[in-house]
Amino acid sequence: MSAAEDPAAAPPALVAPPVMAVEPAVPADIPAIVALNNLFAPDGLTLTRTPAFVAGHLADYQVIRAPDGSVTGQVALDDYSPSLVELVSLAVAPEAQGRGVGQVLVAAAEALARRRGYSELFAISLAEALFLRMGFQESSIAVYPEKIARYRGISRSELSIGRKFCFAKRLTAPAAAAH
């Protein structure tokens, strides 16, 4: 009798989906956030961030952790006005990429932006498939002079990426809860 036919046999183990709890970053995460973010800066995929910058914007960072507590993914918000905010510092450790961590982080950043009342979220990223899948529309960095003005030292690579790979999402107010 095969195991499948044996009623006493243990049921096959279900493969649980990866647990991806998104958490607000804490001060102890700062070195790991800086290291993961800056890993991709030489390729122009992220802007170089300093520990001082991350510390000053810690409330804007969210992280996903490995079972040992280390940071495997992160995302942050960088606001320009009460209505416009950019999704920045999206980064997933190379060994954890391609398993949906980035998607969970984009959703978490969007949720935080909605909670904070922004009406528009944009991002500059080569991960076109990811952002389109998450409901973003193609846009252009030219639409956001606020960004170009803030980062006068914006890297040439980011500027050229931004001309072709800029994605935006209008955030409508969530439906009012029924009372």
Ligand X SMILES: CC(C)(COP(=O)(O)OP(=O)(O)OC[C@H]1O[C@@H](n2cnc3c(N)ncnc32)[C@H](O)[C@@H]1OP(=O)(O)O)[C@@H](O)C(=O)NCCC(=O)NCCS
Q: Which residues contact ligand X (rule: CB under 6 A)?
A: 40, 45-46, 90-92, 97-103, 123, 125-130
Q: How far is the CB of 110 from ligand X (least distance, A)?
A: 13
For ligand X, give the closer residue by CB, 3 or 133.
133
> Are 106 and 131 within 8 A, CB to CB?
yes
For ligand X, give the closer residue by CB, 103 or 155.
103
Q: How far is the CB of 38 from ligand X (least distance, A)?
A: 11
State which residue has the least CB distance to ligand X: 102
Q: How far is the CB of 17 from ligand X (least distance, A)?
A: 13
For ligand X, give the closer residue by CB, 30 or 162.
162
In the chain, the N- to C-terminal Cα span, in Å, equals 58
What tokens were used for 13? 């183990």
Q: How far is the CB of 127 from ligand X (least distance, A)?
A: 4
For ligand X, give the closer residue by CB, 103 or 119.
103
Q: How far is the CB of 95 from ligand X (least distance, A)?
A: 11
For ligand X, give the closer residue by CB, 21 or 175.
21
